[in-house]
Structure 1
């Protein structure tokens, strides 16, 4: 028998809130609204609490438990993963963070040529004996065009890529696609992977006719999320990679401030 060092008694009398593994690259299968499932590769963080009298946790068990679910990751299985973590590691609480590229096929606005666009999606969940919290996360690339620049400039207005990060806690199922649509409709313009000249003309002119600060985008997203009765809590962050500044522009709102 090999000595179990992790289970040695620790006399420093300090409990740890989170111990576990970070940045595990792992193949997963997630639900896709149109195609039912989508295969992707995730970055996964998994943690449990550690009582004050245990020296360490058993790191191998985190991956062993994940393996038991045969790569399928969805809200139901995430709760089961956390339950198994607590049971296997004698923990009172467990936490998981999963982030992965999620691809949707998207039509160009004029020519209707299709191409895939990558979004960054994920899940977060925390479970203890008293409460379970589960969150959906999407990060959506968009375009913003500055209203001030348009107003004061004779010829044009500066525009740039931006990203919208939405995190929600819900009462029932919401698809990534729904949150992505809210984000894209709240920006000056969506982004596309493949555009021909007629498409470029449309996107450029559409953004010019729809100028927005990051503050505008954050508020417009928040209004749409607030109207959705399936959403219990939300947070919105908008960051614009400014084209005429060396810094980024940023705005944030969550439902507790409304």
Structure 2
């Protein structure tokens, strides 16, 4: 019995010319990969442009199968570029652009500030890539949390403490033990500055010639620049060290944005970036926001 040829509707030509399409493909494909040696559960968008006006559609299964080259392997820029190249080769004559976007959350184990404790912290990330006649393009999006203490609030709190000190010791002889006890009492330090959980959102244009993805290095550099990264497991000694870090790094949103701007400009693997910091105010019902951008001179 002769085997029947299965119909391929997508391969049928349109009888009339149709407009080209920028992207045709799939989204939310589950794909396990490795990043910095750690498992990363990704959701992937894969597609190509449809530039042939006579073509009915693309071959989506070819894109899906090409993703197997990344499965449970270390995610690198050469590996991604190779998959994009395969997208185009499998659609020769149909497509001139290929797209591959990945989203996930990298889990890193972070040590406490003082004690031997450690805990896991999640860093949402997105990697948007495409390949066209102009070359290979890579954008990395990272999100990280930190604490910010308002400099204005700190100054106002210090003033109230000074006023209380004058009131409590106006008619007393200053004694070291009494002052020390006063500093440690709730009636002495009667005001504290307000802090808030804050977030930095980084959109980074990567140099496509580098071999590895510098996600860990970028996160470490950004947290070091801010100096008040959110903690995981802590003891009281860690909490005290965190209070000290906040007190020594008072930040408006403008300060945080400038720290990150300087930090990222010193990273050699970036062609440019834009950043946004959001301070979820504990004083106001609204957020304080600052944005900045930079592009490496040609």
TM-score tier, shorter chain, comes to 0.7 to 0.9
Within a 5 Å distance, the mapping from 1:1-258 to structure 2 comes to: 1-10=5-14, 11=16, 13-30=18-35, 32=36, 37-51=37-51, 52-72=53-73, 73-90=75-92, 91-153=95-157, 154=160, 155-166=191-202, 167-170=204-207, 172=210, 173=212, 175-187=214-226, 189-256=228-295
Give CA-to-partner distance per residue, 1:140-188, whole Å, 9 cap, x none.
1211222233233442222222222222413535622221122212325
Describe the SS at the equivalent of 2:290. strand
The 2-side partners of 1:204 and 1:191 are apart by 12
Specify every segment of 5 or more residues in structure 2 that has no aligned partner in the other structure, as ranges.
Answer: 161-190
**Structure that is richer in strand per residue:** 1
Q: How many residues align?
A: 253
CA contact (8 A) 2:33 2:70 kept: no
The 2-side partners of 1:111 and 1:178 are apart by 24
> Displacement, 1:194?
0.7
Describe the SS at the equivalent of 2:193. coil
In structure 2, the CA distance between the partners of 1:40 and 1:230, relative to structure 1 (3 Å rule), is: closer
The 1-side partners of 2:19 and 2:285 are apart by 44
Give CA-to-partner distance per residue, 1:75-105, whole Å, 9 cap, x none.
1110001001111123201111112221222
Describe the SS at the equivalent of 1:217. helix
CA contact (8 A) 1:144 1:188 kept: no
Give CA-to-partner distance per residue, 1:223-246, whole Å, 9 cap, x none.
122223333222222222233333
Describe the SS at the equivalent of 1:28. strand
Describe the SS at the equivalent of 1:105. strand
The 1-side partners of 2:71 and 2:213 are apart by 23
The 2-side partners of 1:85 and 1:246 are apart by 48
Specify every segment of 5 or more residues in structure 1 that has no aligned partner in the other structure, as ranges.
Answer: none
TM value normalised by structure 2: 0.77
In structure 2, the CA distance between the partners of 1:249 and 1:54, relative to structure 1 (3 Å rule), is: farther
The 2-side partners of 1:160 and 1:146 are apart by 9
Q: CA RMSD in A?
A: 2.3
TM value normalised by structure 1: 0.88
**Bigger mean CA offset, 185-194 vs 243-252:** 243-252
**Bigger mean CA offset, 53-62 vs 83-92:** 53-62
CA contact (8 A) 1:157 1:208 kept: no
Describe the SS at the equivalent of 1:56. coil
